[in-house]
Every structure is written in structure tokens, then in C-alpha cells.
Amino acid sequence: MVVVMNVGADEAQIEAVIDKLNSLGFDVHRSTGVNRSVLGAVGVKPEFDTRRVAVLDGVSEVFRVTEPYKFASRSWVEMDTEITVGDVTIGGNEVVVMAGPCSVEDEDQIHKTAEFVAAQGATILRGGAFKPRSSPYSFQGLGSAGLKMLRDAADAHGLHVITELMEVGHLDEVVSVADIVQVGARNMQNFPLLKELGKVDRPVFLKRGLSATVEEWIMSAEYVMAHGNPYVILCERGIRTFEPSTRNTLDLSAVPVVKSKSHLPVFVDPSHGVGIRNKVVPLARAAVAVGADGLMIEVHPNPDGALSDGPQSLEFDQFVDLMKQIRLIAGVLGRTVAPERISA
């Protein structure tokens, strides 16, 4: 149940309502907005008559929350959540581009990519050091050495870092390097991992599970938030369907659907979504058009020699094209993309 206080409600009235709710057996979470306070009461029974609360002094309205999540819900926080990472604001007017290789492979590869994507206006460098691979015989990532290369390359080119955390045992190490911690599709419902990420002071980039509904995906964000970390970014990366002509089916309808249910920023990863290099640019355009707050794009200096996800990784010139095209689409919508930083 959500209790919305009057704009002019004073502290004493708010406290009195909280006390009353507690005495009725509810756990109360308070959200103090610019204009008014909102109280979330957890533990409402179906037979509870909400008028018992609606009549209290200072209460404007009371409504039941039908969603099973609260912190992630639009009815709990009305305004879009903005997340600041250094000089980058995620969830604001700027369409934020995270780009880089699927995996960090060596110094040269990650430095070349960082330099290149930064020059084009990407602000966050991606690269996996701990990789979730379908086959145990595939390249598993460089681990700690890869994390260090990623951080060094990002620092050398004024970028922030996003990288995937696969297990609780690596949490401290990943958090010491990453500005944003990625939870991959396969771990979207790794609840122990989500709970631990609730305790860290890094935004969590939560990819949608391969067969997760929108509600399950938001519930996973709720895990992180309920454990204390309000900074979750959702990322649509394609779901499994019956259609074999693309690696996954990129569910772009999820963007406006999630945005009506949640205040959290929503990104799109067309690279994993479609899995085919020459289909990434059109889907990136569509993602921006449909209202995504940002994109995650795989780029590699030599995609055909990549140790993971080569077929979906963009060549550098394709990335140039992508940035040009999304700047146009963003402009039509009154949004921006960080400027190019091509040195003379």
C-alpha cells in the first residue's frame, strides 16, 4: 500500500501516520520527495480497509500497489531515476553509449578499442574479464589480469568501466575496478549475487534473463534495491524465442513497457540481441527511437579474430556509422549523445 501525503503535510503529521501504520502491523518505508512524502507500507492483507489510513491528518491518497515489487515501481518513485557515474548521467537526457569488446583479450586490443570508442563519443568502456560461456572449452576471460587492462585502458582514454561479475567470490575484486557492475543474463536470477550487490556502492547493470518476463526482471532489480542499493540499470539484451534467424529476439517493446512500470533507466544491447554484426546498427537506431536511455555495443579492432562474440562485434567503421545514426535519432527526440572527442 502506498500512502501519499499532502504537499503541505508537516513532519508531525507524517510521523503520526508512520506510527499508526506501525501499530497496524505494517513495515513502513519513507520516500521524501521534493514536493511531498510518500510512505510505502508493506504487509497489507486483502481485507484491510485502506480508509483507516486515508482519514488520517495530512494524507492525500492511499492506494494498493498491485505489482509485487515496490522500490523499482513507478508508483513508489514517480520521476525517472538518474544515476551519476563520474561526469556521466545515466537516465537523463543524454543517450549514454557503453562500448568495447565482448572480452578483454590483451593490452593492445583493449587500448585500441578504448581510444577509438572514446573518440566517437562513448563514455563507458565495456569488456568482460570473467566470462559466462556456454562451453567449458571456450575462452573464459583473462580474470584479474583482464580487469587491470580494462581499468588502465579506460583511464588512459577518460572512460568509465563496466564489467561483469559472475560470482560472489569475485565481488571485492570487481568492485575495486568497475564503475558499474554488470550482471549477465544468465545470472539475472542468481539471488545470492543480487543480494550482495545490494550492499555495494556501485550501480548494477542488470541484463534481462534469456527467458525472463518483464516482471521477473524487475523483481531481480527489486532484490538489489531491497538490500540497499537503489542504483539499478535494466538492460534488454534479447530473449529466446522460436525464431532462429537471429541469435535472440530483441524485445524492444520491453523498453516502453518497463518505463511505464519502473522509474529505473533502461538500456538496450542490440549486439547480443541480434547476434549478427550488420543488424546491430538498425536495431541501435530503433532502440534509441523507442526510448532507451543508452546502448551497450560490442566493438572489436578485428572482430573475425575475437575470442568471444566476434560475429556480433562491430568493425570500427560500423561503430562510426552507429554513432552518427543514433545522434540523428536522439536529436529528433530532443536528446543528446556525448560529443566526439576526435583529436586533431
Shortest CB 128 distance to Mn ion, Å:
7
Closest CA to 298 of 132, 166, 110, 133: 110
C-alpha cell at 299: 566493438
Give the span between the Cα atoms of 341 and 280, in whole angstroms: 23
236 vs 309 by CB, closer to Mn ion: 309
Is 28:43 a contact under the CB 8 Å cutoff?
no
Check binding of 117 to ligand PEP (CB under 6 A). no
Q: Which is nearer to ligand PEP, 237 or 277 (CB)?
A: 237
Name the one range near ligand PEP by CB under 6 A: 55-63, 155-163, 166-174, 180-188: 180-188
Q: Considering only CA atoms, which of 97, 123, 115 is closest in space to residue 153?
A: 115
3-state percent breakdown (helix, strand, coil) of the chain, nearest 5: 35, 20, 45
Q: Spell out, one character per residue from 207 to 236, where the chain touches ligand PEP: x when CB under 6 A holds, - when not.
A: x-----------------------------
280 binds ligand PEP (CB under 6 A): no
User: To 5 degrees, how large is the angle CA 89–CA 295–CA 159?
Assistant: 55
Task: Kindly state the cell numbers that stand for 141.
Answer: 576471460
Nearer to ligand PEP, 121 or 128 (CB): 128
Cell 567503421 belongs to 317
Count CB atoms within 10 A of the CB of residue 32: 10
185 binds ligand PEP (CB under 6 A): yes
How far is the CA of 152 from the CAs of 17, 40, 280, in angstroms?
52, 43, 28
Min CB(100)–Mn ion separation in Å: 10
Distance CA 316, CA 142 (A): 23
Site for ligand PEP (CB under 6 A): which residue of 58, 91, 184, 303? 184
Q: Which does 185 bind (CB under 5 to 8 A by kind): Mn ion, ligand PEP, none?
A: ligand PEP
Q: Which residue is nearest to Mn ion (CB)?
A: 102
Considering the complex, what minimum distance in angstroms separates the CB of residue 307 from ligand PEP? 12
| Shortest reach from residue 214's CB to ligand PEP, in Å | 16
- Please name the residue that has the C-alpha cell 527511437: 289
Residues of span 44-103 touching ligand PEP by CB under 6 A:
102
292 binding partner (options ligand PEP, Mn ion, none; Cβ < 5 to 8 Å by kind): none
Least CB distance to ligand PEP at residue 203 (A): 16
Interface residue with ligand PEP among 157, 160, 263, 272 (CB under 6 A) is 272
Distance CA(88)–CA(132), nearest Å, equals 28
Report residue 157 as a C-alpha cell. 582514454
Enumerate binding residues for Mn ion (CB under 5 A): 102, 309
What strands, in cross-sheet order, belong to the sheet with 59-63? Answer: 27-32, 37-42, 2-5, 59-63
Among positions 70, 151, 202, 237, the unique one binding ligand PEP when judged by CB under 6 A = 237
Select from 91, 100, 121, 128 the one that contacts ligand PEP (CB under 6 A).
128
Question: Which of residues 222 and 309 has its CB atom nearest to Mn ion in the complex?
Answer: 309
Residues 92 and 330 sit within 8 Å (Cβ to Cβ): no
Torsion sign (Cα): 125, 130, 132, 136:
positive
Q: Which residue in 25, 132, 256, 331 binds ligand PEP (CB under 6 A)?
A: 132
Distance of closest approach, residue 272 Cβ to Mn ion, in angstroms:
6
Phi-psi region of 291 (alpha: psi -120 to 50; beta: other; left: phi over 0): left
Site stretch for ligand PEP (CB under 6 A), options 39-47, 106-114, 181-189, 252-260: 181-189
**Which residues are at the interface with ligand PEP (CB under 6 A)?**
102, 128, 132, 184-186, 207, 237, 272
